Amino acid sequence: MYPNWELDFFRDVACDMWRLAVTPAQTQAEVEFLQKTLAASNLLDVPCGNGRHSVELARAGARVTGVDSSVEFLTEARNNSRNLDARWIQADMCDLSWAAEFDGAFCMGNSFGYLDPARAQQFLEAVSRSLKPESRFVLETGMAAESILPGLQHSRWYKVGDIYMLSRNQYHPRDARLDIEYTFVRNGKEETRPSSSYVLTVNEICRMTHQVGLEPQQLLASVAGEPYQLGSQRLLLVTEKKNERARVKHPANAV
């Protein structure tokens, strides 16, 4: 287990790898999905990384707030959003102080999996508190058990641009935790960085969102709208915040 590994992971070669791994076409497709699904103009992006979604949403007229712990990514986001209605805040993704501030929110990428179950619940509570009633929240993760475990390999090489990356995986069933060591190789220089992610079932994730008033609406496998199923590479969970009156009048059963 590597506690707080993300505080030192996202810098230089790791950031470069992630920038190269995502194409402009992928970002555009995801932005269009968020625009259609959230149908909102005041948006929370947490964690926002380098703002690849929010910068484009701001260019399209949305007001965006991005939260992330990476100084390098936030600097890039600020530089790419000058003269746009965007604000960038360095903070832990679980440390959100707003109440009924936003009419839409999203968490894209793998960040949700970085949180242990207690912290994941804290994060979802903070997001729910930040949203206005009937607002939507999109949660993406590649760490749902039904996605990651069926095809899990002990090690795998990737190459993007001039960067080679080796991932070595060790799954701990008792803790539902996947420890991954990433080795980056570029220009003859090699560097290894550890990470840990937690593997929850789709049912567990849905129960957690339900408990904080974020009711699951759709379980998708991609921004193209395919339904999620066993073995889908990613989960896109679309939820909607219910107002307190509706929750009291119609007590929801566990998902």
pTM of the entire predicted model: 0.90
Q: Tell me: the pLDDT tens digits for 176-222?
A: 999 999 999 999 999 999 999 999 999 999 999 999 999 999 999 99
Q: Are 221 and 201 in contact (CB under 8 A)?
A: no
Length of the chain: 255
Closest CA to 124 of 210, 59, 30: 210
Q: Is the pLDDT of residue 47 over 90?
A: yes
**pLDDT higher at 253 or 191:** 191
Q: Given this model, what pLDDT does residue 19 score?
A: 86
Q: Are 137 and 105 in contact (CB under 8 A)?
A: yes
Q: Can you list the domains of the chain with their CATH numbers?
A: 6-142+200-249 (3.40.50.150), 148-197 (2.20.25)
Q: Given this model, what pLDDT does residue 7 score?
A: 76
Q: Given this model, what pLDDT does residue 11 score?
A: 86
Q: Is the pLDDT of residue 251 over 60?
A: no
User: Torsion over CA of 242, 245, 246 and 249, rounded to 10 degrees?
Assistant: 150
Question: Phi/psi at 42 (nearest 5 deg)?
Answer: -120, 100
Categorize the per-residue pLDDT at 9 as very low, low, confident or very high, splitting at 50, 70 and 90. confident
Mean pLDDT of 220-237: 97
Q: Are 206 and 193 in contact (CB under 8 A)?
A: no
Categorize the per-residue pLDDT at 1 as very low, low, confident or very high, splitting at 50, 70 and 90. low
Share of the chain above pLDDT 90, in %: 85
Q: Tell me: the pLDDT tens digits for 80-128?
A: 999 999 999 999 999 999 999 999 999 999 899 999 999 999 999 999 9
Collapsing DSSP states into helix, strand and coil, what is residue 194? strand
